[in-house]
Amino acid sequence: MSPEDVEEQLRRAGRPEAPPEHLQRAVLNLPRGSSPRISRTRVVRLGVAAALALAVLAGVSIVVTRGNPAIQPVATVQLRNAVGAGAEVRIGSPNGPNRPLELSVQHLQPGSERYYELWSYGDHPPMMLATFMTSKDGSCTIRLSIPRTADWQDLVITPRDRADQPLLCSNHGRC
Interface contacts to another protein, rule CB under 8 A: 1-3, 5-7, 9-20, 23-24, 26-28, 30-32, 36-37, 39-40, 121, 124-128, 161-165
Q: Which is nearer to another protein, 94 or 126 (CB)?
A: 126
Residue 28 CB, nearest approach to another protein (Å): 6
Q: Which residues contact 155 (CB under 8 A, 6 or more apart)?
A: 77, 79, 89, 118, 119, 120, 121, 122, 129, 169, 170
* DSSP-derived pairing of the beta strands 115-120 and 98-106: unpaired
Residue 61 CB, nearest approach to another protein (Å): 30
Q: Which is nearer to another protein, 11 or 66 (CB)?
A: 11
Q: Which is nearer to another protein, 19 or 47 (CB)?
A: 19
Q: Which is nearer to another protein, 44 or 50 (CB)?
A: 44
